[in-house]
Amino acid sequence: MQALYMNDSYLKEFSAVVVRVDGKYVVLDRTAFYPNSGGQPHDSGKLISGGEEYNVVYVAKIDGVISHEVDKQGLKVGDSVRGIIDWDRRYTLMRMHTAAHLLSAVFHKEAGALITGNQLNVDQSRIDFSLENFDRSRIAEYVRTANGIIKKELPVAVRFIRKENMTGDLIKLAGVLPPDADEIRLVDIAGIDVQADGGTHVKNTAEVGEIEIVKMENKGKSNRRIYFTVK
């Protein structure tokens, strides 16, 4: 099974063949549908086959295989399908994802903050991080810094690197790899932020727009949370 979004985040439509069906759960030989993972929610959209439309309501990776949950039964193994991604939803999530990487990089660089979690969504996304001082004006300043980077219209590159070719800072990224994987996918925002990542991103920071803080929360000790959106 080929995960087409790994190489091309901008693929909105594709053709594929059904290789497995279990009730409303469908596996294809290739897909552009992103499964729920790494804090990025699944895509929605539809599969079309023989004039019938099946809405894709949930997508998850189960035992390493991407499974599409559709709203009705009827697809059979061997059927050819046309897949269409709900692009508005996906593109917003791509902008949110690149924004989250930029914020993480700035929080880390400016304040030494460690990112402890994140959850993207269409309306607002959140980042959890550990930071000693909870100074709202400082955090607002970091977000302005991130917006300054966005305005520079920097390229966001996705590339694959073999484990044995990792040097310097990249070595620590190898730790997130499953032990049997020999290649890692890197998302590189013009060298400002390089992460091992399976998510979908915009190809230029300008596409993020402007990051806006929705709210900040003090979760006690040194746990902080911000909710943000992109305009």
Q: Give residues in contact with Zn ion (CB under 5 A).
A: 197, 199
Output the residue with the shortest Cβ distance to Zn ion.
Answer: 197
The residues near 111 (Cβ < 8 Å, ≥ 6 apart) are 131, 138, 142
**Crossing angle between the packed helical segments 87-111 and 136-151, to the nearest 10 degrees:** 120
CB of 9 to Zn ion, least distance (A): 12
Cα torsion angle, 202, 203, 207, 211, sign: positive
CB of 97 to Zn ion, least distance (A): 6
CB of 145 to Zn ion, least distance (A): 19
Nearer to Zn ion, 27 or 99 (CB): 99
- 3-state SS, residue 129: strand
The first and second tokens of residue 227, run together, are: 């909710």
Whether the Cβ atoms of residue 187 and residue 199 lie closer than 8 Å to each other: yes
CB of 136 to Zn ion, least distance (A): 25
CA atoms within 13 A on the CB side of 103: 31
